[in-house]
């Protein structure tokens, strides 16, 4: 186990300069904002190949699926259309149907299609032989055969469902009842489905990727209809002096979501295994030992009721260059740019080597890695939205019952008496 003394050295040495990095392969030199090789004019870079335009038949099929999903949501939003006496259980069953219709726009579920997979598999038209950084191009849109407008419509509909499931998660996490009430239909449904009076379910989303890969936009667009009460976002930068004096997981544990909450990490504990490999900020024995620590940490989290979604946004060097230039041209975005962004860009291959090692050692059944092409922002946002919504739906939660000390008949009688006064 790494002690606080080791952790203090992990961020940087006392002179502020990084230790000499381990050799993990010599990258092709990427000149500042230029491409590999000689620095050319800083004009518009070559864009990666755009996804093929969907056929009319494909577009109609996607539109039809999205229309049906919207119809299902409209039913949920109108109590009269599904019956004034519909139970919470029945409403959630309808929500599950709508979510399934929404998922049907994917030719292959992102949870399967984009999961890190180094092993060769049977090749199909929509599945590469393996799914690693060596086989991915940031401009791909695997599994989704619609265009940008289809993707944005999908995100809008999905965010509505995410909001519904988020409220359900929050209700289960904060509910303090200790027993169900057999007289209530919703309570019967909850008891039959094994719903506990108080749930420890929570969700952690880890977002990683090179600079300008779209991590911040994911939070903005995927949670556009979410309730801030129940969502905890935290961005991890270089460790502060206090953080560096503790074990590397200390600051991570402080920001974990509580029961019923969704936690979103913009960068994470994975910086503590990748950065040392690229910049030499910790000796090899330290960062190698951290892999086992991370797997143990995440396994315990999962066992305690925390679902973990780890996402690496794969952006191409060309697309990153375009975003950097865009930031420099836009006065409202210049604050996002730092010279350190160029330093990291020049070590691109070193980063890819370190991340490839990280995926191989930490993609587990409890906490798998998803490698998401991110040159097309609408696509990466749609993927994260799908992963989040299906994960929340898969928890199988029910609306919590009334608290044990609430006598429903007495409450109705007292409210009725009050109304009659």
| Strands of the sheet with 202-209, listed across from one edge | 231-235, 262-266, 202-209, 306-314, 369-373
pLDDT in the model for residue 121: 64
pLDDT digits (tens, 9 = 90+) for 136-168: 999 999 999 999 999 999 999 999 999 999 999
Say how far apart CA 254 and CA 377 lie, in whole Å: 30
Per-residue confidence at 91, pLDDT binned at 50, 70, 90? confident
Q: What angle do CA 123, 127, 131 make, to 5 degrees?
A: 105
pLDDT in the model for residue 17: 42
pLDDT in the model for residue 241: 97
Per-residue confidence at 2, pLDDT binned at 50, 70, 90? very low
Is the residue at 244 inside a domain?
Answer: yes
Is the residue at 90 inside a domain?
Answer: no
Say how far apart CA 349 and CA 355 lie, in whole Å: 10
pLDDT in the model for residue 33: 53
Give the torsion sign (CA, 273, 276, 281, 284).
positive
Tell me the CATH number at 378: 3.40.50.300
> CA nearest 400: which of 180, 80, 142?
180
pLDDT in the model for residue 199: 73
- Mean pLDDT rounded to a whole number for the chain: 83
Which backbone phi and psi does 366 adopt, to 5 degrees? Answer: -75, -30
Place of tokens 């999903």: 69
By the 8 A CB rule, do 315 and 374 touch? yes
Is the residue at 19 inside a domain?
Answer: yes
Is the model more confident about 247 or about 57? 247
pLDDT digits (tens, 9 = 90+) for 99-111: 999 999 999 999 9
SS3 at position 199: coil
Is the model more confident about 252 or about 406? 252
pLDDT at residue 196 is higher than 50: no
SS3 at position 266: strand
pLDDT in the model for residue 274: 99
For 213: left if phi > 0, alpha if psi spans -120 to 50, otherwise beta; the answer is alpha
Which helix (H) or strand (E) segment is 271 a member of? Answer: helix 271-279
pLDDT in the model for residue 224: 86
Split into its structural domains, the chain has a count of 1
Domain assignment of residue 374, given as a range: 4-45+108-394
pLDDT digits (tens, 9 = 90+) for 110-139: 999 999 999 866 545 455 568 999 999 999
pLDDT digits (tens, 9 = 90+) for 28-61: 443 445 443 332 333 333 444 555 667 777 888 8
pLDDT at residue 410 is higher than 60: yes
By DSSP bridging, strand 231-235 and strand 369-373 are: unpaired
Is the model more confident about 36 or about 383? 383
pLDDT digits (tens, 9 = 90+) for 300-343: 999 999 999 999 999 999 999 999 999 999 999 999 999 999 99
Is the residue at 134 inside a domain?
Answer: yes
Q: What angle do CA 283, 287, 288 make, to 5 degrees?
A: 110
Say how far apart CA 260 and CA 267 lie, in whole Å: 22
Is the residue at 404 inside a domain?
Answer: no
SS3 at position 184: coil
Among the ranges given (8-12, 51-55, 82-86), the one the predictor scored with the smallest mean pLDDT = 8-12
In the chain, the percentage of residues whose pLDDT exceeds 70 is: 76
Is the residue at 99 inside a domain?
Answer: no
Is the residue at 401 inside a domain?
Answer: no
377-394 and 88-103 helices, crossing angle to 10°: 150
**What is the DSSP code string of 62-115?**
HHHHHHHHHHHHHHHT-TTTS-TT--HHHHHHHHHHHHHHHHTTBSS-HHHHTB
In three-state form (DSSP H/G/I as H, E/B as E, the rest C), the secondary structure along 281-323 is CCCHHHHHHHHHHHHHHHHHHHHCCEEEEEEEEECCHHHHHHH
Is the residue at 54 inside a domain?
Answer: no
In the chain, the percentage of residues whose pLDDT exceeds 90 is: 61
Alpha helices in 108-244 (DSSP H): 110-113, 148-174, 185-192, 215-222, 241-244
Distances (CA, A) of 232 to 59, 205, 237, 421: 36, 10, 16, 45
pLDDT in the model for residue 127: 54
pLDDT digits (tens, 9 = 90+) for 268-294: 999 999 999 999 999 999 999 999 999
**Residue range 198-211: average pLDDT?**
93
pLDDT at residue 19 is higher than 70: no
pLDDT in the model for residue 364: 98
């Amino acid at each position: 186990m790494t002690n606080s003394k080791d952790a203090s050295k992990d961020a940087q040495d006392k002179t502020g300069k990084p230790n000499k990095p381990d050799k993990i392969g010599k990258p092709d030199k990427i000149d500042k904002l230029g491409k590999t090789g000689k620095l050319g004019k800083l004009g518009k870079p070559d864009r990666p190949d755009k996804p093929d335009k969907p056929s009319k038949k494909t577009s109609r099929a996607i539109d039809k699926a999205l229309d049906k999903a919207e119809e299902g949501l409209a039913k949920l939003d109108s109590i009269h259309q599904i019956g004034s006496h519909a139970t919470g259980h029945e409403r959630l069953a309808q929500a599950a149907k709508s979510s399934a219709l929404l998922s049907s726009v994917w030719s292959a579920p992102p949870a399967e299609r984009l999961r890190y997979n180094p092993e060769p598999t049977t090749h199909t038209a929509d599945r590469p032989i393996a799914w690693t950084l060596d086989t991915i191009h940031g401009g791909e849109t695997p599994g989704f055969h619609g265009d940008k407008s289809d993707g944005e419509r999908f995100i809008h509909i999905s965010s509505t469902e995410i909001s519904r499931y988020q409220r359900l998660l929050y209700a289960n996490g904060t509910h303090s009842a200790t027993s169900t009430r057999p007289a209530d239909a919703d309570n019967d449904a909850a008891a039959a489905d094994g719903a506990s009076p108080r749930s420890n379910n929570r969700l952690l989303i880890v977002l990683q990727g090179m600079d300008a890969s779209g991590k911040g936009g994911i939070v903005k667009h995927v949670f556009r209809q979410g309730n801030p009460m129940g969502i905890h976002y935290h961005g991890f930068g270089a460790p502060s002096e206090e953080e560096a004096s503790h074990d590397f997981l200390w600051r991570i544990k402080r920001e974990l979501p509580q029961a019923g909450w969704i936690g979103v990490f913009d960068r994470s504990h994975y910086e503590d295994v990748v950065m040392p490999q690229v910049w030499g900020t910790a000796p090899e024995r330290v960062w190698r030992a951290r892999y086992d620590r991370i797997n143990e940490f995440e396994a315990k989290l999962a066992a305690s009721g925390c679902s973990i979604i780890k996402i690496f946004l794969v952006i191409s060097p060309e697309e990153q260059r375009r975003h950097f230039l865009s930031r420099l041209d836009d006065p409202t975005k210049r604050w996002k740019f730092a010279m350190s962004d160029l330093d990291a860009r020049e070590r691109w291959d070193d980063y890819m080597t370190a991340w490839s090692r990280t995926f191989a050692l930490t993609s587990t059944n409890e906490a798998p890695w998803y490698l998401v092409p991110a040159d097309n922002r609408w696509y990466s946002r749609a993927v994260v939205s799908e992963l989040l919504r299906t994960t929340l739906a898969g928890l199988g939660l029910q609306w919590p019952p009334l608290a044990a000390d609430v006598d429903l008949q007495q409450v109705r009688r007292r409210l009725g008496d009050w109304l009659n006064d």
